Amino acid sequence: MKPAPLLIALVILLGLGGAVWYSEKHPPQPKSDVKTEKVISVEQDQLRRIQIARPEETIALEKADDGKWRITQPKPYKADESSASSLVSNLASLNADQVVAEKEKEGDWKTYGLDPAKLQVEITLKDGKQHKLLLGDDAPTSAGVYARLEGDQRLFTIPSYVKSSVDKTVSDLRDKRLLPFESEKTSRVTVTTRDRTLEFGKAGTTWQIVKPRPMRADNYAVDDLVRSVRDATFESILDETGKPPAKYSFSSPYAVFEAVDAASVHTLTIGKETKDKETSYYAKTTAMPGVFKISTTVAEGLNKKLEDLRNKKLFDFGWSDPQKLEVRDGEVRMVIEKKADKWLRVDANNKELPSDKVQALIDNLRNLSSKAFTADEAAAQSKYGLDKPIGEAKVTSDEGKRVERVLFAAGQESTYYAARENEPATYEIEKTAFEDFQKAVGALK
């Protein structure tokens, strides 16, 4: 036999072998003209269990009687409701991007990465019926993934983004909130740091500072503080053994937050570690076992100054409409009442006053705010001239249920002082704020 035919035969043999190898490694790609079909179609509220299995890990979520999803495997955790809802939504209504084959041979599943599958997702319905979705290799030239349903001979592809939406880890699915309590039902909050303890009590929707002494609280600031802890999440898990290393000592914590509602006491304890001039924070919580790394923002957000949480407004009537105003600027006095949608000066024969000018006075009183707290003892108020005030304003609102009286005294340069009746605090206000009050009163003479 001549060498040339032998070489030709060898080339042909190698070519055939290469084609076989390529076809095994690169299965047929989906065609653009094949039909799409519904793969899974169930009502979302019928799903009771979801199991996600990959070679290195199996995760199970189950829907509890309260309607919330919980991770039951590999360990019990609360599930993040948003992540769980997204997972349920994607699995309950799943479309095939393309149906590649109506009946694939049993032995061919391996070609597509489906024997064994790269990922298995099994859903269990309320009636006990199950669907198991198997995901394999990426399709060669499309943004899809080979998939099949167990017990179904069809081979199809699903969009890659759908795979990403169900290919979740425990970290993706667990609730990372450190202290998920119901802030709306909280009646008492305590924040303890190494320097001081602040305690807040709530009546209805209004917060009051209880410690270090009774003071009016800035409702929005305290609500924001409570929400910041309720929504705080951990960055990573430092220890879940139940016996954390000694370095995570909480014997002298950086801060402790405690929220009390009708059901329980919820506590977040924060530790601080400084190493190589870098500070990090860690925490433990009554909501779950373990030690968790947290952000500087979460930790240092509890170290607010008392002044930042106090109510700086001089009047509490807010956006409710007053029914009566009693004001004095030096020797000028007025008593103004609203009767039948008209503002009348009752100390001057019920003279009707321009409503826009009365409203300007109301807005001025509503916006009066302190720039600092000078003292918190009633005995100190005389030091600032509040025993001989140069002006005052008394506002009756809430259908006569709320009566507030504020006194004004002149200070030095641009500073004036104010005090609320029967409260020990002395408020420092801008001189221009009092001058605006004088102008509003003068406009009604």
pTM of the model: 0.81
Say what the pLDDT of residue 25 is: 45
Please say whether the beta carbons of 395 and 316 come within 8 A: no
| Cα separations in angstroms, 179 against 78, 90, 235 | 11, 29, 14
pLDDT band at 260 (very low <50, low <70, confident <90, very high): very high
The answer to whether residue 207 sits within a structural domain is yes
Which has more confidence, 18 or 115? 115
- Amino acid 275 reads K
Residues 349 and 289 in one domain: no
Domain final residue pick, 173, 207, 229: 173
Peptide bond into 354 cis (omega under 30): no
Indicate whether 208 and 284 sit together in one domain. Answer: yes
The rounded distance, in Å, linking the Cα atoms of 138 and 342 is: 76
Domain edge (last residue) among 114, 140, 173? 173
User: Is 424:440 a contact under the CB 8 Å cutoff?
Assistant: no
Give the angle 401-404-408 at the CA atoms, nearest 5°.
170
333 and 416 co-located in one domain: yes
Q: Which DSSP string do the residues of 90-140 spell out, in sequence order?
A: HHHEEE-SEEEESS--GGGGGGGTBTTBSEEEEEEETTS-EEEEEEEEEPT
Does residue 283 fall inside a structural domain?
yes
Q: Is residue 12 part of a domain?
A: no
If asked whether residues 145 and 43 sit together in one domain, one would say yes
Residue 414 domain-assigned (yes or no)? yes
Quote the domain boundaries for residue 227.
183-309
User: Could you read off the pLDDT of 144-163 as tens digits, one per residue?
Assistant: 999 999 988 899 999 999 89
**Which of 173, 200, 218 corresponds to the end of one domain?**
173
**Structural domain includes residue 1:** no
Note whether 283 and 243 are same-domain residues: yes
Read off the pLDDT of residues 389-413 as tens digits, 9 standing for 90 and up.
999 999 999 999 999 999 999 988 8
The chain-wide mean pLDDT, for the chain, equals: 90
- Residue type at position 370: S
Total domain count, the chain: 3
Do 167 and 38 share a structural domain? yes
Whether 8 is in a domain gets the answer: no
Q: Tell me the one-letter amino acid at 318.
A: G
Strands (E), 152-235: 155-159, 188-193, 197-203, 206-211, 215-216
Identify whether residues 330 and 425 lie together within a single domain: yes
Do residue 51 and residue 167 come from a single domain? yes
In a domain, 90, yes or no: yes
Question: In the structure, what pLDDT confidence band is assigned to residue 253 with cuts at 50, 70 and 90?
Answer: very high
- Same-domain check for residues 148 and 221: no
Q: Is residue 9, in this structure, part of any structural domain at all?
A: no
Q: Are residues 305 and 330 in the same domain?
A: no
Q: What are phi and psi of 38, to 5 degrees?
A: -75, 130
360 vs 18 pLDDT, higher one:
360
Looking up tokens 């947290």 gives: 294
pLDDT tens for 280-310 read: 999 999 999 999 999 999 999 999 999 999 9
Per-residue pLDDT tens over the stretch 305-332 = 999 999 999 999 998 989 999 999 999 9
Beta-carbon neighbour count of residue 332 at 10 Å? 13
243 and 289 assigned to the same domain: yes
Tens of pLDDT along 214-246? 999 999 999 999 999 999 999 999 998 878 888
CB 291 within 8 A of CB 241: no
User: Do 239 and 339 fall into the same domain?
Assistant: no
With tokens 């032998």, the residue in question is: 6
With cut-offs at 50, 70 and 90, classify the pLDDT of residue 8: low
